[in-house]
């Protein structure tokens, strides 16, 4: 019963969020602010994690396959892992911790300090005003972050292979080019777009329906991350099943 | 003028408002007073549409707000200014941006005109010079004044003030009270103040509605409130030693 209630309220919430903005100029200005908050401020953590993950995947693969499988397998494995799963799924999961909790706590704080009531009394459609720029910004910027992650991860794999003498650069290069399918990138970007909408909308939903005080804001923030991650994982399975089989 | 007729509101089994009837005059400071939990805030939220009424009507002038659809309500809401108990300033915006916000959303003014009007309102509440500070960087009294400036920036017909003096020292409270009275007269607004501060009621209250257990237990003006003869109102008005002393002195004269 509780689950059905939340599903129904979530879709009603999304219906309000996707309404036409009352002021186009204000909407675009808010979207620019969100692009900075969601995207630009996340580049550092995305780059750092991708560099380390790419390097670690390369070392682990080289360790597993050394001596009995061709050396180009390292490049191939790093490419496939980064493009198919790490960049489009794990990066959004990590971002749900950063961006999702931020959105939930921001909107939750606005709710408990009556800022949302103030918007409503003025005649502002608060859900659309607060959520639509975030959805739009995330939809625009997440694919860029994911592409950055792919490039840096694969690059870090090349660097560590060369530095630690795990495989030659030629082998690594051959590996990342072997059997390359552009559809893998398309699949990854489709996933990313869906996940970006899930993370921002689920987090905004939990923030918006915060009731109480500071403790509830913290709870909403936690719930936003947990539910976002769970829904992203379920969506990952569904999208993969639909697009790759 | 705002007219409330037969407004009822329940939360689950708990009935908070029992068919409230009240009228709030234009160009006057109308108080809703009562003990905590008497239904003051719920009534106000019902009046501005933050809560839906279970029954009854709320009229802003001749417009039946409760019968309106969402889009029609938006138009009425643009004529409403509200000062919230905690200020409810947008913490990501500066003082100037906060005051300017309603104009940015709903007026056709250009940036210079908006800025000029916002600065005019800030000057009116004596906050010139604080326009580039953020809400977290100013005192509670200043936040209330910024909220008041934001509430009046669109020249509202209706001004709601929810506990405007809560958490303020007596001198700042008087400053806020005087501002509310002066702005009401200046703009001719129908002002509704929710409070349990008897100083404010005596100081600026033109019409007073006393709520008790979700009903209007008494209605009158400030000259009548000290001698209402209504037991529940007397126990509210004379709850403090100071007020009891005043009553003793008045009776001694």
Say whether B240 sits in a helix, a strand or coil: coil
Rounded (5°) CA angle A49-A52-A55: 145
Q: Which residues of A touch B91 (CB under 8 A)?
A: 109, 113, 115
Test B50 with A120 for CB contact under 8 angstroms.
yes
**B199 pLDDT exceeds 90?**
no
Q: Nearest C-alpha of chain B: how many angstroms from A112? A: 9
Contact check, Cβ <8 Å, B77/A113 = no
Which one of B78, B88, B104 has the shortest CB-CB distance to A113? B88
For A177-211, b where at least 16 C-beta lie within 10 A, e where not — what string? Answer: eeeeeeebbebbbbbbbbbbbbbbbbbbbbbbbbe
**Residue A75: which pLDDT band, with cuts at 50, 70 and 90?**
very high
Lowest mean pLDDT among A14-18, A65-69, A179-183, B17-21: A65-69
CA-based R_g, chain B, Å:
19
Contact (CB<8Å) B82/A118: yes
| For A113, nearest residue in chain B (alpha carbons) | B88
| Segments making up each domain of chain A, as ranges | 23-244
- Which SS3 state, helix, strand or coil, does residue B217 take? strand
Section B77-90 average pLDDT: 91
- Establish, for the pair of chains A and B, how many residue pairs have beta carbons separated by less than 8 Å: 53
Kindly state the average pLDDT of the residues A185-198. Answer: 97
Closest C-alpha to A109, from B164, B162, B137, B86: B86
Residues of B in contact with A107 (CB under 8 A): none
Close Cβ partners of B145 (under 8 Å, ≥ 6 residues apart): B125, B126, B127, B175, B176, B179
Inform me whether the pLDDT recorded for B253 exceeds 70: no
Gap from A129 CA to chain B (nearest CA, Å): 10
In Å, how far is A124's CA from the nearest CA of chain B?
A: 8
| Lowest mean pLDDT across A18-32, A150-164, B146-160, B223-237 | B223-237
| Range B90-107 average pLDDT | 94
**pLDDT (0 to 100) of residue B244:** 79
Whether residue A16 lies within 8 A of chain B, CB to CB, comes out as no
* pLDDT-wise least confident of A200-204, B58-62, B184-188, B242-246: B242-246
Angle B46-A212-A136 (CA atoms, 0-180°, nearest 5)? 85
CA proximity to A175, closest of A190, A192, A158, A191: A158
Q: Do the Cβ atoms of A23 and B105 come within 8 Å?
A: yes
Contact list in A for residue B84 (CB cut-off 8 A) is 114, 117-118
pLDDT of residue A67: 75
Percent of chain A having pLDDT more than 90?
A: 89
Between B74, B86, B89, which is nearest A123 by CB?
B74
**pLDDT tens digit sequence for B133-182:** 999 999 988 999 999 999 999 999 999 999 888 878 888 888 889 989 99
B75 to A123: CB separation less than 8 angstroms, yes or no: yes
Smallest Cα distance from A23 to chain B, Å: 6
Chain A CB contacts of B77 under 8 Å are 120-123
Distance CA A88, CA A75 (A): 18
The pTM score is: 0.89
Q: What percent of chain B has pLDDT over 90?
A: 54
State yes or no: pLDDT of B74 exceeds 90.
no
Domains belonging to chain B, first-starting first, are 1-79+156-222 (3.40.50.300), 91-155 (no CATH)
Task: Name every chain B residue with its beta carbon within 8 A of the beta carbon of A22.
Answer: 105
Query: Can you tell me the distance from the alpha carbon of B131 to that of B135, in angstroms, rounded to the nearest whole number?
Result: 10
Contact check, Cβ <8 Å, B88/A120: no
Please tell me which of the candidates B49, B88, B102 has its beta carbon nearest to residue A114: B88
Q: Given CB atoms, is A23 within the 8 Å cutoff of chain B?
A: yes
In this prediction, residue B226 has a pLDDT band, given cuts at 50, 70 and 90, of: confident
Chain B positions with Cβ closer than 8 Å to A: 45, 48-50, 73-75, 77-78, 80, 82, 84-86, 88-91, 101-102, 104-106, 160
Which neighbouring-strand residues pair with B194?
A: B32, B162
- For residue A123, which residues of chain B lie inside 8 Å, CB to CB? 73-75, 77-78, 80, 105-106
Tokens 């990342």 belong to residue? A176
Res. A166 pLDDT band, cuts 50 70 90:
confident
Residue contact B48–A114, C-beta within 8 A: no
Whether the pLDDT of residue A65 is over 90: the answer is no
- Does the CA dihedral A8-A109-B192-B184 come out positive or negative? negative
- pLDDT recorded at residue B172: 82
With a CB-CB cutoff of 8 Å, which residues 150-179 of chain A face chain B? none
């Amino acid at each position: 019963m509780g689950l059905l209630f939340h599903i129904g309220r979530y879709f009603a919430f999304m219906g309000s969020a996707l309404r036409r903005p009352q002021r186009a100029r204000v909407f675009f200005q808010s979207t620019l602010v969100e692009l900075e908050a969601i995207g630009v401020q996340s580049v550092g953590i995305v780059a750092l994690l991708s560099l380390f993950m790419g390097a670690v995947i390369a070392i682990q693969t080289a360790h597993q396959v050394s001596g009995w499988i061709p050396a180009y397998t390292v490049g191939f494995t790093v490419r496939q892992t980064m493009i198919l799963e790490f960049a489009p799924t794990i990066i959004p999961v990590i971002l749900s911790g950063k961006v999702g909790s931020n959105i939930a706590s921001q909107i939750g704080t606005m709710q408990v300090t009556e800022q949302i009531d103030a918007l409503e009394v003025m005649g502002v459609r608060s859900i659309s005003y607060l959520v639509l720029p975030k959805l739009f910004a995330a939809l625009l910027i997440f694919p860029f972050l994911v592409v950055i992650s792919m490039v840096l991860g694969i690059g870090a794999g090349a660097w560590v292979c060369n530095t630690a003498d795990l495989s030659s650069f030629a082998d690594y290069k051959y590996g990342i080019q072997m059997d390359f399918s552009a559809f893998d990138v398309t699949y990854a970007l489709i996933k990313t777009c869906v996940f970006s909408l899930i993370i921002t909308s689920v987090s905004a939903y939990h923030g918006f329906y915060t009731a109480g005080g500071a403790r509830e804001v913290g709870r909403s923030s936690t719930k936003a991350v947990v539910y976002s991650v769970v829904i992203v994982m379920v969506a990952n399975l569904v999208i993969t099943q639909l697009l790759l089989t | 003028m705002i007219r409330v007729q037969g407004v009822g509101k329940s939360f689950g089994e708990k009935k908070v408002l029992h068919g409230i009837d009240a009228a709030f005059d234009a160009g006057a400071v109308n108080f809703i007073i009562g003990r905590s939990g008497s239904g003051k805030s719920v009534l106000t939220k019902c009046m501005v549409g933050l809560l839906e009424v279970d029954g009854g009507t709320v009229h802003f002038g001749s417009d039946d707000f409760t019968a309106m659809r969402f889009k029609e309500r938006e138009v009425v809401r643009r004529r409403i200014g509200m000062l919230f108990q905690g200020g409810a300033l947008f913490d990501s915006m500066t003082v100037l941006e906060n005051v300017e916000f309603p104009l940015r959303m709903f007026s056709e003014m250009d940036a210079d005109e908006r800025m000029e009007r916002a600065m005019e309102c800030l000057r009116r509440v004596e906050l010139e010079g604080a326009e580039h500070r953020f809400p977290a960087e100013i005192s509670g009294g200043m936040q209330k004044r910024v909220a008041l400036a934001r509430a009046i920036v669109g020249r509202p017909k209706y001004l709601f003030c929810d506990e405007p003096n809560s958490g303020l020292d007596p001198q700042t409270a008087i400053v806020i009270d005087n501002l509310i009275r002066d702005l009401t007269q200046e703009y001719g607004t129908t002002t509704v103040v929710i409070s349990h501060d008897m100083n404010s009621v005596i100081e600026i209250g033109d019409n007073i509605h006393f709520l008790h257990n979700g009903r209007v237990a008494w209605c009158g003006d400030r000259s009548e409130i000290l001698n209402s003869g209504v037991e529940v109102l007397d126990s509210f008005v004379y709850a403090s030693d100071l007020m009891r002393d005043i009553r003793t002195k008045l009776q001694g004269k």
